[in-house]
C-alpha cells in the first residue's frame, strides 16, 4: 500500500485536496500522480463536490516539480508513458467540469507549475515562486507546460520563462495574468476557501458550460467559437437551474441551484 500522498476533505460542496509530501517539497512522483488522478476521478463522479481547492502541505511548496531522481532512472521505453501519465492527470483536472482552484503556497516549479496551469483559477501567497526550470536540467516541460503557459501568457512571456528557466515571484505572476489573486501566506487557504464557497453556491451546469466554451473555443476561429457559445447557451436555458436562477432574481432572493 502506498503512502497517503493526497489528503482530502469535503466541506459545504468544496473538496479540499492537499498534496502531502512535505519532506520532498510535494514533488510529483508516480504515487502522487496516481493518487491525484484517483481523487479527481472521484470528484468528477460525486455530485456533492461543486468546487475543488488544491494545495500543498506546509509553507514551502505547492509542488516543487516532478521527482527528478525518478525521471533520471527512466528507461527509454518508459519516458513517453511517464509523460502520458502526467498529461492524463492535467487533462482530467482541466476537463473536470467543476472549478479547480490552485492555492499556491510556495514553490510551483516544473510539474508543479504545470499542475497549477491545469487548474481553472490560481491564487498564491506573496512568497510563491512559479516557473518552468526544465531547461536547466536539459529537459523541457513534459506535462503540458509549453502549451498551457503560452496560451495563458502569450508566446513571448511563456518563452521567456521556459528558456531562462527562472521562476517569477507572485507579484509578477499576478501582473502577467498567471494569477488572479495574491494574499499573505497565512491568509491563502482562507482566501481560496472563500472563493471556492462562492463558486460552490453558483450554478453547476452554467459553470461547466462556461469552462467548456472557453477551453473548446480556444482552438477555434471566432465564428465557430460564437456558434459553440450559442449551443451551450441553448443547453443551459433548458435547465431547472436556469428557471431557479431567473425566478430567484425576480423574487429578489438567493437561488438554490441543484445542477439539473
Mean pLDDT computed over 89-93: 95
C-alpha cell at 165: 528557466
199-239 pLDDT tens trace: 999 999 999 999 999 999 988 999 999 999 999 999 999 99
pLDDT attached to residue 2: 65
In this prediction, residue 34 has a pLDDT band, given cuts at 50, 70 and 90, of very high
Closest CA to 39 of 49, 25, 28, 24: 49
Q: Which of 38, 70, 134, 184 is catalytic?
A: 134
| Alpha-carbon distances, residue 161 vs 44, 86, 153, 172, 250 (angstroms) | 32, 21, 10, 12, 49
pLDDT for position 55? 97
- What is the C-alpha to C-alpha distance for residues 166 and 85, in angstroms, rounded to an integer? 26
The answer, as to whether pTM is greater than 0.85, is yes
Q: Is 11 a catalytic residue?
A: no
Active site residue 94: no
* Catalytic position from the list 114, 175, 229, 238: 114
When pLDDT is averaged across residues 163-169 and rounded to a whole number, the result is 97
At 74 the pLDDT is: 78
Q: Which domains does the chain have, with CATH numbers?
A: 6-200 (3.90.226.10), 204-251 (1.10.12)
| Residue 160's pLDDT band (cuts 50, 70, 90) | very high
Amino acid at each position: 500500500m502506498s503512502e497517503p500522498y493526497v489528503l482530502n476533505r469535503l466541506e459545504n460542496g468544496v473538496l479540499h485536496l492537499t498534496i502531502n509530501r512535505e519532506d520532498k517539497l510535494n514533488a510529483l512522483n508516480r504515487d502522487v500522480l496516481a493518487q491525484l488522478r484517483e481523487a479527481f476521478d472521484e470528484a468528477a463522479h460525486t455530485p456533492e463536490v461543486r468546487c475543488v481547492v488544491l494545495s500543498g502541505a506546509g509553507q514551502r511548496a505547492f509542488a516543487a516539480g516532478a521527482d527528478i531522481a525518478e525521471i533520471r532512472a527512466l528507461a527509454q521505453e518508459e519516458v513517453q508513458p511517464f509523460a502520458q501519465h502526467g498529461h492524463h492527470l492535467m487533462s482530467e483536472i482541466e476537463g473536470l467540469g467543476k472549478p479547480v482552484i490552485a492555492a499556491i503556497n510556495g514553490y510551483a516549479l516544473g510539474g508543479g507549475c504545470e499542475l497549477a496551469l491545469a487548474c481553472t483559477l490560481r491564487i498564491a501567497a506573496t512568497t510563491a515562486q512559479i516557473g518552468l526550470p526544465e531547461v536547466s536540467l536539459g529537459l523541457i516541460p513534459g506535462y503540458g507546460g509549453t502549451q498551457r503557459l503560452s496560451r495563458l501568457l502569450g508566446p513571448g512571456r511563456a518563452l521567456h520563462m521556459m528558456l531562462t528557466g527562472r521562476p517569477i515571484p507572485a507579484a509578477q505572476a499576478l501582473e502577467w495574468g498567471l494569477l488572479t489573486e495574491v494574499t499573505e501566506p497565512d491568509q491563502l487557504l482562507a482566501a481560496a476557501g472563500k472563493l471556492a464557497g462562492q463558486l460552490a453556491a453558483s450554478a453547476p451546469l452554467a459553470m461547466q458550460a462556461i469552462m467548456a466554451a472557453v477551453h473548446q473555443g480556444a482552438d477555434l476561429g471566432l465564428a465557430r467559437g460564437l456558434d459553440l457559445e450559442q449551443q451551450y447557451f441553448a443547453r443551459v436555458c433548458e435547465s431547472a437551474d436556469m428557471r431557479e436562477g431567473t425566478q430567484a432574481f425576480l423574487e429578489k432572493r438567493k437561488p438554490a441551484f441543484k445542477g439539473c
